[in-house]
Structure 1
Amino acid sequence: MARPQRDNPEKFGRLDGLLPKAEGRIKPNPASLPKELDIEGLPEGRWIARGVYRMEREFAYGRWYGKKMLASPAESGRTLRHWGGDAVPVFLDTETTGLSGGTGTYAFLIGLGLCGEDSFRVVQLFLAGPAWERSWLAAIEAELPEHYGLVTYNGRAFDLPLLRTRYTLARAVPSWGGAPHMDLLSLSRHFYKGRLSSCSLSSIERNVLGLRRSGEDVPGSEIPWMYTQFLRTQDAGPLRGIFYHNTLDIVSLAALQIHIAEMARGECSCAADMIRAGDLWAAKGFQEEARAAWEGALDFRHDRHFALLRLAEAERAAGNYEAAYRYYEESLETERRPVRTLETMAKIEEHRFRRCGDALAHATEALRWLESHRIFKDRQWEEDRKNLLHRIERLKRKLAAKECGEDVFPGDGGEL
């Protein structure tokens, strides 16, 4: 991606012709004013422009973060390149004056996670008031490397659209507009939706990364109010919990990216993770990687039948009916609700193997199981029973006529 030079005066003026002229606009960094503002309680850092305060912390690789060891996220970014990952990831998170978005909401703190050779750096840029927003946006641009990809958590829906709005109002164009972007929320939902009560970052931290934040942290819902109080008092001491909150959000993103990349590579601790890793690859069309993950799930005792069914469906889609049948047959040993598998086996036996007797036996077994579990009776139960009765009657007619019909039998829709 061609990136504008940092000293290019046109970088923040490309949209001037598209926006109405604003009179009385405060110009950033006037030479007659000092950078420093009379604000108490800010953490260690320095003023880099009028109203813009910069803080930085380093986290050495090899230290434990929850139950994960922090390492350079570069390799994990390469692993996840098909989902927007990059070998030079920049982790981004904002704290804002509200959660509803719109032109009245702006970000007053941004955290950027940057990969160093020996440590992970978190750079925070604090905006002391809306009058200096243009300088704050310029400071963000100055921190970004030449080539990188963004990593966020729900940034696709919130952080990035909000920042784009602020750039537009400042008559600016972000250099990161064409950069790769990976939203870890979607990947977290892929692996943990239905397994955790929530896929919020705080829930992922507790249940996946094993992190417990200290009492210094503040709930995200209180952050806009706390910043409003700061604008009235100019006392930044109460904001220390916000800086802590934002710092841990950034480090958690790095740790989470490493964790998700490990699972995508098949470094999983349970069959459920392996199966969803296979599903992740399959959704992108990488069938070889998907099968490797599903086969890896067979090494675990629990949930093996889900992996067997995935492998069966993959073989069936490829036209390998013998292999698919073997997987279906093995999955029956541990399935709790075998109706769908029995019916699928009956279809393969009838239409591909011409074994109508075996097909009838499996369809009858499926019907018997269904009728012995009327506790599941609902619209789907009724539909399954209707289909099985129809299949059984047809198979009986075909057996009586001593034939199994065409490759695709009329009335069955040819569904295999």
Structure 2
Amino acid sequence: MGLHDRLNTLRRQAGSDPPAPGRTSAEAHAPASEPASGNVLDEIRARLDRMGVAGTGRTRANPPPSSAVVRPDELAKRLNGELIDEHLVRVDRIIAASHAHGRHTLELAREPASPFWSSDQRVGFIDTETTGLAGGAGTVAFMVGLATLEGGQVRLRQWLMTAFAGEGALLAAVDAALCDCDHLVSYNGKTFDLPLLRDRRRMQRRPDAPETAHTDFLHPVRSLYGHAWPDCRLRTVEERLLGLDRQDDLPGSEAPWAWKAYLSFGRSEDLERVVQHNTDDILSLTLLGPALASVLAQPVAHEASVEGAARLMERLDGPAAARRLLEGHQKSLSAPGLLWLAREWRREGRYDQAVPVWESLAERGVQEALEALAKYHEHQRRDWERALRYAEQLEPGPRADGRLERLRMRHEAATR
């Protein structure tokens, strides 16, 4: 690609039309009385062609003919959307509850999702497609999707920039839609999507969006399945929880190149696939609330971590809800889970339930259980002999040594 073509590409990315065919960039800006000779440009063009790309020895592919360039208005038609600003396409559609997504339909989205959110909240499911996955000042969200539940159906709105100049209009449209939501749902949105939108607003000198409640499903999935699954990517969650096997899906990592191909050459095929990828991501989000609520209710049946489910319940619904979950799955608890349950019983003075748990763990040499039994027999039963028996099994340390010395003195005094 010559310098003239590269300059035209940069103009398209910025949202400006390139100069008319047959005119160089210099000619387009030069006074009419001083036509450009083009000799310098020809020399630079030849040097760039000889250099190739980043020292690989290959020249860049030529852009497609102008007839193959998909202009923004044509792109909007292909997506069944509309051009709402010079460089912004909006796709706004209603997806019926009968729409199949994996082994479920979108009717599942209407099911209760407690404790993640309540049925009276206005929930928005948000996902972005960006020019890079690392974040930073140079990363831009070129597409934002937002789904809401309306009348038992899913309303999905997607805003797609066709040039960098469309970012202000995109942020304004997204912020207006977010005003109707009081709870946001994302996947890795707390770390990536929402901070990115916040930073882009500030770079566009726009006010920050109002604070709203936010559920980032990456963290519940890690708590429930981080011990068992190879990873906790959304794709893995879809396959294992929703039964969704995406066909001909464009990976999210390729989305930046699809958008750059449109900016550079006007090619829209892969960009249209990005829109479908974003659609699938968001539809999955609408189903994950009820799906994960079912996992929390029966973690063993869904092969999830009971302790992880209890941690979620404690954070979302309080310690009492976590304790009830642990009690209901006591036979499936690991040693840390049993210790947690015993601590909850001790706080409530239910030693008749806590002590058998400590005794079973003490037989396995669990230090916390041994210490708990030593404390129980010293302070509750005042049985120095039994307290001393457990204290002698503790690993040496300042606290254990001090308890051991105190109990020996009390035991000797009691046997005189």
TM-score, length of structure 2 as denominator length: 0.71
Q: How does 1:87-106 map to 2 (within 5 A)?
A: 87-106=121-140
Matched, 1:55 2:83: no
Long gaps (5+) in structure 1 = 1-24, 28-34, 368-382, 405-416
The aligned residue for residue 206 of structure 1 is 239
The correspondence for 1:261, drawn from 288, 293, 312, is 293
**Partner residue of 1:222 out of 234, 237, 254:** 254
| 1:47 aligned counterpart, secondary structure | strand
Pair 1:234 & 2:266 matched: yes
How far does residue 53 in structure 1 lie from its aligned partner after superposition? 1.7
Stretches of structure 2 that go unaligned for 5 or more consecutive residues are 1-13, 17-70
| CA distance in 2: counterparts of 1:305 and 1:393, whole angstroms | 29
Matches within 5 A, 1:4-403: 37-39=73-75, 42-56=78-92, 58-61=94-97, 65-68=101-104, 70-71=106-107, 73=109, 76=112, 79-81=115-117, 87-144=121-178, 146-173=180-207, 176-214=209-247, 216-265=248-297, 269=301, 273-283=305-315, 286-298=318-330, 301-303=331-333, 306-329=336-359, 338-363=366-391, 366=393, 383=395, 395-402=407-414
Paired with 2:300 and 2:123, the residues of 1 have a C-alpha distance of 23
1:359, distance to aligned residue in structure 2 (A): 2.8
Residue deviations 1:156-207, cap 9 Å, x none?
2221122123223333335x42332222222223323333332222232234
Change beyond 3 A, Cα 1:74–1:118: closer
Shift of the 230–147 alpha-carbon distance from structure 1 to 2, 3 Å rule, reads closer
Q: Is contact 1:153-1:253 (8 Å) kept?
A: yes
Secondary structure in structure 1 of the residue aligned to 2:84:
strand
> Which residue type is aligned with residue 355 of structure 1?
D
Q: Is the 8 A contact 1:40 1:236 kept in 2?
A: no
Aligned residues: percent identity? 32
Q: 2:266 corresponds to which letter in structure 1?
A: Q
Higher helix share: 2
1:200-224 deviations in Å (ceiling 9; x for gaps): 222322344333221x212222221
User: Residues of 1 paired with 2:74 and 2:244: CA distance?
Assistant: 36
Question: How many angstroms apart in 2 are the aligned matches of 1:123 and 1:196?
Answer: 32
Residues 48, 323 of structure 1: alpha-carbon distance in 2 compared, 3 angstrom cutoff: same
SS for the counterpart of 1:71 is helix
Q: How many residues align?
A: 349
Kept after mapping to 2: 8 A contact 1:328/1:341: yes
The CA distance in 1 between the partners of 2:279 and 2:199, in whole Å, is 24
Show CA shifts across 1:262-302 (max 9, x none). Answer: 3445576268544333222334672221221111113xx53
Please state how far the C-alpha of 1:109 moved relative to its aligned partner: 1.0
Question: Partners in 1 of 2:153 and 2:412 — Cα distance?
Answer: 76
Deviation at 1:42, TM superposition (A): 3.7
CA contact 2:123–2:181 (8 Å) conserved in 1: no
Deviation at 1:95, TM superposition (A): 0.5
Instruction: Name the aligned partner's letter for residue 385 of structure 2.
Output: G
- Between Structure 1 and Structure 2, whose CA radius of gyration is higher? 2
- How far 1:327 moved relative to its partner? 3.4
Q: Post-superposition shift, 1:152?
A: 1.5
State which drifts further: 394-403 or 306-315.
394-403
